Chain A
Amino acid sequence: MKHIISVLVENKSGVLAKVAGLFSRRGFNIDSLAVGTTDDMNISRITLVVNAENHSIEQVTKQLYKLINIIKIQELDPGNIVERELVLIKVSADSRTRPEILEIVNIFRANIVDVAKKSLMIEITGNNRKVDALEELLKPFGILELVRTGKIACTRGSKY
């Protein structure tokens, strides 16, 4: 089962390695990981997506809490969050295929951020399904490069 875990940590060197180490030591693969500072420069948020059994995720969460630099851990309920990921896709395009690609991009409300003779760069934000669908449609044209930021998420409502 997929779990989205949001971790507030002190913004210090080595903290990310300790968090990641806790997962790797228990044999978990981290599907995605996004890190950035919060409104307080001294505090960073790590958003992790991990595939694991409920029992083992509970144990990892408890072990995470034991890391001194960790301030707060939240497992996010997928039904009650807004989740986003930013993806950049560089796709092969020439004068013949460009109009078709532009049409797809428009339908997905994605943006073209770079145009070259033989390629286009597309920027898209959204949830996994939207990104996956776009990727699927662009594949026949030849995807040259694809870069994802990793998922970030925030709970709905005024609770934080």
Chain B
Amino acid sequence: MSKISGAQMLIKSLKEEGVEVIFGYPGGVVIPIYDVLFDSDIRHILVRHEQCAAHAADGYSRATGKTGVCMATSGPGATNLITGIANAYMDSIPIVAITGQVATPVIGTDAFQEADITGITAPVTKHNYLVKDVEDLPRIIKEAFYIASTGRPGPVLVDIPADVSRAMIDSNFKAEMNLPGYKPTTRGNLRQVKQAVKLIYDSKKPVIFAGGGVISSEGSDVLREFTDFAGIPVITSLLGKGVYPETEELSLGMAGMHGTRYANITFMETDLIIAVGTRFDDRVTGKLSEFAVNARIIHIDIDPAEIGKNMETLIPIVGDAKTVLTDLLSNYREITDKKGKPDRSEWLKWIKRMKKEFPQRYDRASKKLKPAYIIERIYDITGGDAIICTEVGQNQMWAAQFYKFTRPRTFISSGGLGTMGFGLPAAIGARLGKPDKTVIDIAGDGSIQMVSHELATAVSNKIPVKIMLLNNGYLGMVRQWQELFYKKRYSATCIDNCVDFLKLADAYGCSGIRVKNAGEVDDAIKKALSIDNVVLVDFLIDPDENVFPMVAPGSPINKMLEG
């Protein structure tokens, strides 16, 4: 009977889970694990700050659908992960975070680099573990991956004390999962499905509202089939982008604070919302009491706690989006086979008219460099085939508004938590997961400065992400709110001209390109895509440009401000 260490058992268990890459940062108590990792064929990507390890694991997961893995040492290493873990939690992204912990005999003594990370992360993880016995380790790793990736996905943290990593265990030690209280419902109640189908069939003005849950359940294809068969228009949330091609006539794009005018108007007009894998977030609904007042609601979600949380629901269906949509489709087919398809030509005509009447727009005639123009050019030049990551703020909303997403897992953005600095590390993770894709980070000059050190990670690991920096010298989204709602008192939002981003790029060994006017945009994008290195394109955009349309916070969503 051969014995191996806890650290060896950990890496063995990770391999059994199919882990190919770990984003991490070493430190005292995880040296035993890094020592084993040194000989392993699991690739380790050394980030420059642990927060970015979590974001990279998150981006990897969003791009591939697999569970991302990040690792950090105890104390500050672990606490640095928290923003990344909270971000994954808010957007229901499966990651497993492995942290080192001080040895079990000194836990609770304020030992060097000790932090109660399971206590600290309880509100932002789906579940977490402190491994107290090496014989629990194989079971816990199995459970961690299972919990992270099933049901409503989310981050799971496993905290491993140094003595557990060093303890010896039988190399063939096998352990089964033991989760008596964890049984996520995947198949929706068939009676409710049938009721829903009847309601959909009878509806004059139905609309589908699809969110990130459809993407995480890999339900986009079924959604498309259902939509096209039933002829029902589709609105998405921010995280639902790509779930249905935005190039299609039935697509109304994204709704909400910076959504399309026609999507928001449609919500006010529709008599039936078929919500799938989305949670009626306040950024979507605006003033809740005036949201979708004419609509009845069918809400499909794997998390029963989301149903009825914000909106009163007529037909709740708890289940996996893909499975429920499949059942909806087959039942809807049955009913139309018998009775024929309902005539909704008036509704579709109205939708078409709204799209024509209220298009996405910006001042195309302007001589200034407009961010919307840059995004449109990126869309055209990449043929809509790139993976687009974003930071948070104006850059994120412009990317969401002017790039047409046609496939799931191509728009990677921090939705619920709104984490500045997410885009670059997420792009690094996404590109590692999809090495044959063009991966672009649409950045702002505020966000990128929170994580610019990760240029080193990208360059040294030869991960050629492209950073399209929409540089306006402001923390733009906050400045926009100050302009509109705080009498133009620009408190702490001007960050003008103190960084030369080309020199920054050069310092890290990236290629840098500066663009000052619209005429240079195409060449710069093409050049950036052709260089086999990390490239930062510094677009000096019109600093006064704002994101419109916009729903003022607390307003109903059909009251949109215009530029």
Chain A residues near B (Cβ < 8 Å): 9-10, 13-14, 17-18, 21, 25, 58-59, 62-63, 65-72
Contact = CB atoms under 8 A, between A and B. Distances in A.
B180 A10 contact: yes
B181 A71 contact: yes
A48 to B, nearest CB: 17
Contact of A65 (B119, B130, B304): B304
A66 B179 contact: no
Contacts of B179: 68
Interface of B: 118-119, 122-123, 126-127, 130, 147, 152, 179-182, 303-305, 308-309
B305 A17 contact: no
Given A62-B304, A63-B305, A68-B147, A10 B181 contact: yes
Contact of B122 (A9, A17, A71): A17
B352 to A, nearest CB: 40
Contacts of A71: 180-181
Contacts of A63: 305
A70 B122 CA distance: 14
A25 B181 contact: no
A25 B123 contact: yes
A14 B181 contact: no
A68 B123 contact: no
Nearest to B180: A71
Which of B118, B119, B181 has its CB near the most chain A CB atoms (within 10 A)? B181
A68 B181 contact: yes
Nearest to B156: A68
Given A25-B123, A66-B126, A71-B180, 16 more contacts: A9-B181, A10-B181, A14-B118, A14-B119, A14-B130, A18-B122, A21-B123, A58-B308, A62-B305, A66-B305, A67-B127, A67-B181, A68-B147, A68-B181, A69-B181, A70-B181
B371 to A, nearest CB: 38
Contacts of B180: 10, 71
13 contacts: A10-B180, A13-B130, A18-B122, A62-B305, A65-B304, A65-B305, A66-B126, A66-B303, A66-B305, A68-B127, A68-B182, A70-B181, A72-B181
Nearest to B304: A62
A72 B181 CA distance: 7
A40 to B, nearest CB: 10
A63 B305 CA distance: 6
B142 to A, nearest CB: 13
Contacts of A66: 126, 152, 303, 305
B37 to A, nearest CB: 28
Given A14-B118, A17-B122, A68-B147, A59 B182 contact: no
A66 B147 CA distance: 11
A70 B305 CA distance: 15
In order of increasing CB-CB distance, the 6 nearest A-B pairs are: A62-B305, A71-B181, A68-B127, A70-B181, A68-B182, A63-B305
A67 B179 CA distance: 11
Contacts of B130: 13-14
B334 to A, nearest CB: 32
A67 B181 CA distance: 8
Contacts of A70: 181
Contacts of A25: 123
Contacts of A68: 126-127, 147, 179, 181-182
A59 B304 CA distance: 9
A58 B122 CA distance: 21
A10 B181 CA distance: 8
Contacts of A10: 180-181
Contacts of B182: 68
A62 B304 CA distance: 7
A18 B130 CA distance: 14
Nearest to B130: A14
Contacts of B147: 68
Nearest to A9: B181
A69 B182 CA distance: 8
A63 to B, nearest CB: 5
A21 B181 contact: no
B319 to A, nearest CB: 15
Nearest to B143: A68
A67 B152 CA distance: 12
A70 B181 CA distance: 5
A69 B123 CA distance: 15
Contacts of A69: 181
Contacts of B119: 14, 17
A54 B430 CA distance: 44
A65 B118 CA distance: 19
